[in-house]
Amino acid sequence: MRVRVFTAVVAAGATCAVLLAARPTAAPVAPSTGVTLKAIGPLAFGPGHILFAADTDAAAIVALDLGAGKGAPGAKPTADFDQQLASLLGTTPSAVAITDMAVQPGTRHAYFSVMRGTGADAKPALVRLDGAGTLTLVALDKVPYTTVALPNAPAAAPTERRNPRPLSVTDMVFHDGRLLVAGLSNEEFSSKLRAVKYPFESVDAGTSVEIYHGNHGALETRSPVYTLTPYAIGGTPHLLAGYLCTPLVKFPASVVTAGGKVRGTTIAELGNRNRPIDMFVYSKDGKDYLLMSNTSRGVMKIPADTFGAAAPITERVEAEKAGVPYETVTSLTGVEQMDLFDKTHALVLARPAADAPRTLTLVPLP
């Protein structure tokens, strides 16, 4: 997941829903130490040295105060990253699942949320990589933290085809003093974006968002936002959201209000049998682009100047793709995690082939 500190836009919508919190009135949660996580998934950096980590099993968000950090600035590229990570964790690469990656502003250290082990025995871990190539297991029992539980989270259903509980949080972004959290709820309009003011106080039930999925020829309210980023279109703050199979959606941030319902504007159908992984906006040669990585359709470079005039998709799309144009970045294959590193580079974790080791590389922005 990405450099997740923004000041211009609110979080992004979803195939089904978005919710924004009302201003909470409860007293902020006092920090303590010795956090215990059931699982660890999406990551997002907030103010100062705060790293937000989603415990998807507990349907909770933990704010970890990492302090100033140690180690050489940056994150050193590593050819056999999964082997080094497994060695640090005392296991094998096949027993390690990397659930997210985030680059810390300032230090440019890379943090990885990891599940070590398989099945019910898997344990969460947080790992830091610095510019000297040193991998460090973060001692979570010594890190000051606060936490907040998400309301109306879906119940665990491990025997179902899709267990909704791990989708209680699918992505996060910190914006304007609030952490915006995409995921599912237990409601009829189940896709949600929750807003949590930081320092933590409370979370409200949120605002539902629906979209029209052109390849399905239907309105959708149950598929979560898988990746989101804010972006100003024509000077107006908007949210960009990526969905399964793969609509790209925009909507003005101003329409997101606590307890309401809004419909996003679908501006592209990028192809079925695919899930977006990460996306962020960057500038190059005086123009802005959206870079999106995907499970099945490579990395897409989308000109941001097409977003404002894009015709809404409101009818079934018979073709595989429609809407705003993009180009596939053919030099990037097997991308599993991607984040903006600086103004000219992205940090990319990739497995170029099924039997190849994961590599961590700094890639010039295309």
Which residues have C-beta within 8 Å of that of residue 293, sequence separation ≥ 6? 276, 277, 278, 279, 299, 300, 332, 335, 338
The number of folded domains in the chain is 1
Of 348, 315, 316, 318, residue with least CA distance to 334: 348
Q: What is the pLDDT of residues 200-213, one digit of tens each?
A: 987 877 778 899 99
Q: What CATH number is attached to the domain comprising 352?
A: 2.130.10
Question: Using 50, 70 and 90 to split pLDDT, how confident is the model at 16?
Answer: very low
279-288 pLDDT, tens digit each:
999 999 999 9
Residue 43's closest CA among 83, 97, 3, 88?
Answer: 3
Entry pTM: 0.90
Residue 230 has pLDDT above 80, yes or no: yes
pLDDT tens for each residue of 153-162: 999 998 888 8
Domain range enclosing 216: 5-364
Q: Helix, strand or coil for residue 188?
A: coil
For 259, residues 6+ apart whose C-beta sits below 8 A from its C-beta are 22, 204, 205, 206, 207
